[in-house]
Amino acid sequence: MKTNLILGTALLVIAGNLNAADLRVNGGFLPGGIIDDRKLISEINLKTIELRGAKDGVKSAELLKQLKKLDRKKCDIQLVPAGKQRLTAAETAARTRKGVLVVSGLYKCKRCPNWHSGAASGFMLTADGVFCTSYHVVDNPDNDILVIMTGDGRMAPVVEVLAADKTADIAILRAKGKGFTALPVSTEAPLGGKVRVFSHPDRHFYVLSEGIISRKYLDTPRNGGRRQMFSITADFAKGSSGAPVFNEFGAVIGSVNNTQSTYYSVKNGVKDNLQMVFKNTVSMQHLLNLIQPKKK
């Protein structure tokens, strides 16, 4: 049974005269790389509510219209080149963290009068705010606004959808601002190759896991079509949708997509004896298919 890691979204857009470039969380990130998850999500939620009334903000309803309209369209951006030096896990974390995103949507609770923030994942592609996440993260009519937070606590509103592929579950969007940390993209993903995932499973922010590519295959999503996928042994869970999967050179080779649990038996609709969980990710070939490189 496949479980898409659909996680709301919710975080950031600007209010009043606040400069988006200066909008940062003040707590949650502690010395020594320690994260206070509860404080971080609370602050993200409060700042997002403040940003909700921004004059130049873009509502999620508008982003949804763009998402549907731009399905399978190409965008004109220039990616940063991939490196050739093998990195340790610690080096991967240090070099990529600022470009690893929390992607979040603010939504009105149906059980209380409050606004809440979700937390999915994504990664930055260019210094001027172009980033990638899962299509299903954006495709949520319950969201009022969509925002991002970088690995160093910078927040920015999402203002535009540039390209998307529903079948591959990939979307390329733009957040407001400049000076972001762009991450390289590659299709160098050999079977058995080492991989690392940087994501936010179940609101545990910036979790780094390591493993290998255990399988490469073609998948047929429910909406039809075919997509290139690979399964990995690095851990992730709900909240990791859209997260970057890095090869050992620090380049993004995949986007976290879903888990698939295999049970020994099913009796009267009840599954018993969990044997294996496949961790499935989308090949970055699908991202490259959505990009028309800028002419020099």
Those residues with Cβ within 8 angstroms of residue 268's Cβ, 6 or more apart along the chain or in another chain? none
Per the document, the length of the chain is 296
pLDDT at 224: 80
pLDDT at 16: 41
CATH architecture of the domain formed by 194-289: Beta Barrel (2.40)
H helices of the chain, where? 37-51, 60-69, 89-96, 135-138, 285-289
pLDDT at 222: 82
- Among candidates 81, 170, 160, 164, which has minimal Cα distance to 122? 170
Lowest mean pLDDT among 50-64, 100-114, 281-295: 50-64
What span, in angstroms and rounded, lies between the C-alpha atoms of 162 and 73? 8
pLDDT of 18 > 80? The answer is no
Average pLDDT on 154-183 reads 96
pLDDT at 235: 97
Amino acid at 134: S
The better pLDDT of the pair 220, 125 is held by 125
* Beta carbons of 146 and 162 less than 8 angstroms apart: no
pLDDT at 21: 52
The better pLDDT of the pair 55, 114 is held by 114
Longest dimension (CA), the chain: 62
For residues 218-229, one letter each, b for 16 or more C-beta atoms within 10 angstroms of the residue's C-beta and e for the rest, the string is ebebeeeeebbb
- 51: confidence class by pLDDT, cuts 50, 70, 90: confident
* Beta carbons of 69 and 9 less than 8 angstroms apart: no
pLDDT at 53: 76
CA atoms within 13 A on the CB side of 122: 41
Query: What is the percent of the chain where pLDDT is above 70?
Result: 91
The better pLDDT of the pair 249, 111 is held by 249
Per domain, the residue ranges of the chain are 2-175, 194-289
Average pLDDT on 190-196 reads 97
Lowest mean pLDDT among 59-63, 181-185, 290-294: 290-294
* Beta carbons of 45 and 117 less than 8 angstroms apart: yes
pLDDT of 81 > 70? The answer is yes
pLDDT at 13: 35
Amino acid at 233: T
pLDDT at 6: 40
What span, in angstroms and rounded, lies between the C-alpha atoms of 122 and 245? 10
Superfamily for domain range 2-175: Trypsin-like serine proteases (2.40.10.10)
pLDDT of 22 > 50? The answer is yes
pLDDT of 14 > 70? The answer is no
pLDDT at 52: 84
Query: What is the percent of the chain where pLDDT is above 90?
Result: 77
- 266: confidence class by pLDDT, cuts 50, 70, 90: confident
pLDDT of 240 > 80? The answer is yes
